[in-house]
């Protein structure tokens, strides 16, 4: 397993997520409730879009934590081993997503 390639991929994933989080901040802004400017259905649509944006943002932050955890495991020589059972994670699995914390058996 090429640790440098995994680190590079993780850092790229982290950078992309951080950029997306910054870009999506505007969509989480409070929805204006002034009926003279926006109709009821438009407000409902805006509230729904806002809720979806918040959920997407929550998932992005969760993924950032997972990536940072993988980078931390690299620094402590624990990368590539399942955090649950301690067995080695398959190289193909790590190549697909280097942030996975568990082997395939424990992930089930």
Q: pLDDT by residue (tens digit) across 52-84? A: 888 998 999 999 999 999 999 999 999 999 999
CATH T-level fold of 3-20+39-107: 1.20.120
Q: pLDDT by residue (tens digit) across 27-54? A: 666 656 555 555 667 777 878 888 888 8
Domain boundaries, given as residue ranges, for the chain: 3-20+39-107
Q: Is the pLDDT of residue 9 over 80?
A: yes
d(CA 16, CA 53): 17
SS3 assignment, position 84: coil
pLDDT value for 14: 96
DSSP 81: B
The 10 Å Cβ neighbour count of residue 80 is: 20
For 23, how many CA atoms within 13 A lie in the half-sphere containing its CB? 8
What is the dihedral sign for C-alpha 48, 52, 57, 59?
positive
């Amino acid at each position: 397993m090429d640790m440098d390639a995994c680190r590079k991929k993780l850092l790229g994933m982290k950078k992309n997520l951080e950029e997306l989080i910054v870009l999506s901040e505007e969509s989480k802004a409070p929805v204006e409730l002034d009926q003279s400017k926006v109709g009821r259905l438009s407000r409902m649509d805006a509230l729904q879009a806002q809720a979806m944006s918040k959920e997407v943002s929550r998932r992005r932050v969760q993924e950032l934590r997972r990536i940072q955890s993988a980078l931390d495991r690299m620094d402590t020589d624990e990368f590539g081993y399942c955090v649950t059972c301690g067995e080695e994670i398959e190289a193909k699995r790590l190549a697909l997503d280097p942030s996975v914390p568990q082997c395939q058996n424990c992930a089930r």
